[in-house]
């Protein structure tokens, strides 16, 4: 059985006092049966390393450069640099990066490959817009996104985490029903298994207005292995409740 993974994506929220308070609260509430990760804005990675070392909570970044090592890439942060702060995960291809920064499938795959090269686990996001869903293109969109990743990573596809995040459900209060989410997750699982049997252990997360009220029902679906949590990750009690909804 795949162990539930719950990842808190703080997006562009933070502040030293906020981080100190939130992480102190979370440490007092854990441990959980789920694996738990927080992904703060980059300036707070060092603070996470200091506060979370030795705890059951892992930490990661919300993005990573496709360029590794060091070099003349102003504004970029490589997996090599992230690893120095104890990061274990890196979110890549979040819909906000695809929308606001014009990241395409090929760049997302390159970022995932760069993360794996430094033994960071990429959490690779796929998902359709509302217009694409209403046009009946959900399956085509997510399979195109995942297919590019599979072609670029080859045998290492079994080492990633995939996050299905319907764009229309992010930060809107709308949520795919457990049945809708499971249908897409099952399709993604089939596509992964066609690439490698090792993909049976790949965890596929759901992201899109996950809350304490719906987490258990979502996580009970056979191909939903946890969540990529946005707003609820900023409140210790809510995030704790979601973490406890796993197995």
Q: Check whether 60 is labelled as a binding-site residue.
A: no
93 annotated ligand-binding residue? no
Contact 2, 225 (CB under 8 A): yes
Structure tokens at 62: 């919300």
Q: Which of 139, 165, 185, 213 is catalytic?
A: 165
Taking the C-alpha atoms of residue 165 and residue 127, their distance in angstroms, rounded to an integer, is 5
- Alpha-carbon distance 2 to 224, whole Å? 10
Closest CA to 39 of 82, 70, 97, 98: 82
**209 annotated to bind ligand:** yes
Question: Using CA atoms in the order 138, 178, 29, 38, what is the torsion angle rounded to 10 degrees?
Answer: 0
CA dihedral 120, 210, 205, 10 (to 10 degrees): -10
214 annotated ligand-binding residue = no
Q: Where are the beta strands (DSSP E) in the chain?
A: 5-9, 35-39, 57-61, 89-92, 121-126, 161-164, 204-206, 226-229
Q: How crowded is the C-beta side of 221, counted as CA atoms within 13 Å?
A: 25
Q: How many CA atoms lie within 13 A of 74 on its CB side?
A: 0
**Is 171 assigned a ligand-binding role in the annotation?**
yes
Residue 231 marked in a binding site: yes
- β-pairing, 204-206 with 161-164? parallel
Specify the DSSP class assigned to residue 4: P
Has 246 been labeled as part of a binding site? no
- The residue annotated as part of the active site, out of 84, 94, 128, 134, is 94
Q: Is 101 a catalytic residue?
A: no
Decide if 134 is catalytic.
no
Binding residues for substrate are 9-11, 171, 209, 230-231
Binding residues are 9-11, 171, 209, 230-231
Catalytic residue positions, numbered:
94, 165
């Amino acid at each position: 059985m795949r162990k539930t993974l719950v990842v808190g994506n703080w997006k562009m929220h933070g502040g030293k006092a906020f981080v100190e308070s939130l992480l102190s609260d979370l440490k007092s509430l854990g441990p959980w049966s789920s694996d738990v990760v927080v992904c703060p804005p980059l300036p707070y990675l060092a603070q996470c390393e200091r506060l979370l070392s030795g705890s059951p909570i892992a930490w990661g970044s919300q993005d990573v450069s496709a360029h590794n090592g060091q070099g003349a890439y102003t504004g970029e942060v490589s997996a090599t640099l992230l690893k120095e702060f104890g990061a274990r995960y890196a979110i890549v291809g979040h819909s906000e990066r695809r929308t606001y920064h014009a990241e395409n499938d090929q760049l997302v795959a390159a970022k995932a490959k760069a993360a794996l090269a430094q033994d960071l686990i990429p959490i690779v996001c796929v998902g359709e817009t509302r217009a694409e869903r209403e046009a009946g293109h959900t399956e085509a969109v997510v399979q195109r996104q995942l297919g590019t990743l599979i072609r670029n990573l080859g045998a290492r596809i079994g080492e990633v985490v995939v996050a299905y995040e319907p764009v229309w459900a992010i930060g809107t209060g709308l949520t795919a029903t457990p049945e809708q989410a499971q249908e897409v997750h099952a399709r993604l699982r089939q596509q992964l298994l066609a690439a490698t049997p090792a993909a049976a252990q790949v965890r596929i997360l759901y992201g899109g207005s996950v809350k304490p009220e719906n987490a258990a029902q979502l996580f009970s679906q056979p191909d939903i292995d946890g969540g990529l949590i946005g707003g609820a990750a900023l409140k210790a009690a809510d995030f704790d409740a979601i973490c406890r909804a796993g197995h």
